[in-house]
Chains A and B, each alone.
Chain A
């Protein structure tokens, strides 16, 4: 997947958890949690959305790397992100 494709998928996952956040306003280099006001439950749901969409399971040990949008895209790119087929009942 290209970086832009991954970025689109990441922003879509973010929008599912924080629907009122404008994706265009998310800066690449600042923590996502602060920009979108995500608590730990929201952030976990965001990771679940990424897992469902791109097939990458992000462990707690990688949280520092994926804290920003840029970091998240880089991690997913390096860990084999692939678009997954949507299953019925996916959030």
Chain B
């Protein structure tokens, strides 16, 4: 119950810029979705933040009332910067809510409670704030490339119609907007094939490549990787899947990727040392299994957001979650918890040429599971040679946390699970 005793009055809780990936150093607030006085609950989206990897919906980690928004829209700040302050329900406001003012503290503030971000915050070297993003009322989904081009051309994203996935605004939409409306009766303008200003493209791609380069360099420098591979006969799994899909419409169709992801999630229940983190010289297992899914972005670049509690989802729910995640990864609607929560990552190059992939672990995780392309291969069984659809599953693992014997049994568990697809 709130009390009017000033000695027990709660002090504002700080909400800080989360680390949305091992390589992230700065983020730009492109939109505030709350204002001082708003009541928020754990998990509510309170802002949109842009990094080189895209635009993310940032969730607050606690309940309370927004007391102050500490960073202005458009400002680029280091990870760990206080973005907002909250007060408890029923507590009097101590701030007028403008970014310039500081609240009166009656005791040292409690530790900030954003989603767990084990990576270290680099020493802050603040850069001058960017020019504010074009004003818009609602959270707009636009690819990072589209945003950069729109900004360079001085186009307000709110005036454009998005034709990308989920109504997202694409580079082509921005260029159509720049060309202006077609005269009445004229045929629709031909699609612009390449941006007229190469600089935004180069900048965006470079920023993304830089982010990936930083992450993989750190990973290879710090993590002693070992690598294992196993070939898995997917004959039963694909037969089961074919029958399932034939009995359902296109909207409920399930891809083999969903079966592969589920088998990894369930195998991690049996081999939990591969699910978690290595930080400060020690292993930290995770109870929950949040599968990071490596997704290629169409403009170039890589991102690996999480499907939460993948081991508890039905195949159908897992497929829907995967489809939704890929769509939002490409159109800019990922949530900060999806970036901070992966406990392991799966890289499924399934449809491409490579038969196997030995990946680079995302620090501070301790494992990365890879799947190559599913292809018809010779297969020996009970002394007879036949042909089966086979996938090569690989494990890249941190040798500080596990040994080859453990990793090998983990791969055998994945194989075993994929031989009984109806139980996945």
Contact = CB atoms under 8 A, between A and B. Distances in A.
Contact of B253 (A20, A33, A37, A60): A60
B138 interface: no
B326 A20 contact: no
Contact of A44 (B242, B255, B299): B255
A19 B190 contact: no
A44 to B, nearest CB: 6
B171 A51 contact: no
Contacts of A48: 250-251
Contacts of B165: 16-17, 45, 91
Chain B interface size band reads: 20 to 34
A40 B255 contact: yes
Contacts of B171: 19-20
A57 B163 contact: no
A41 B326 contact: yes
A51 B250 contact: yes
A19 B242 contact: no
22 contacts: A16-B164, A18-B298, A19-B170, A19-B172, A20-B171, A20-B172, A23-B191, A33-B351, A37-B298, A39-B351, A41-B255, A41-B326, A44-B250, A44-B323, A47-B250, A51-B250, A51-B251, A57-B249, A57-B250, A59-B246, A61-B246, A91-B166
Contacts of B299: 20
A5 interface: no
Contacts of B253: 44, 47, 60
Interface of B: 163-167, 170-172, 190-191, 193, 242, 245-246, 249-251, 253, 255-257, 296, 298-299, 322-323, 326-327, 350-352
A64 to B, nearest CB: 14
A39 B257 CA distance: 11
Interface of A: 15-20, 22-24, 33, 37, 39-41, 44-45, 47-48, 51, 57-61, 91
A16 B350 CA distance: 22
A59 B251 CA distance: 11
A59 B242 CA distance: 10
Contacts of B257: 40-41
Contacts of B352: 39
Contact of A60 (B164, B242, B326, B327): B242
B200 to A, nearest CB: 14
Nearest to B143: A19
A61 B250 CA distance: 12
A43 to B, nearest CB: 9
Nearest to A52: B251
**Interface-centre pick from A16, A20, A44, A57 (highest chain B CB count, 10 A):** A20
Nearest to A22: B193
B185 to A, nearest CB: 18
B250 A19 contact: no
Contacts of A59: 245-246, 250
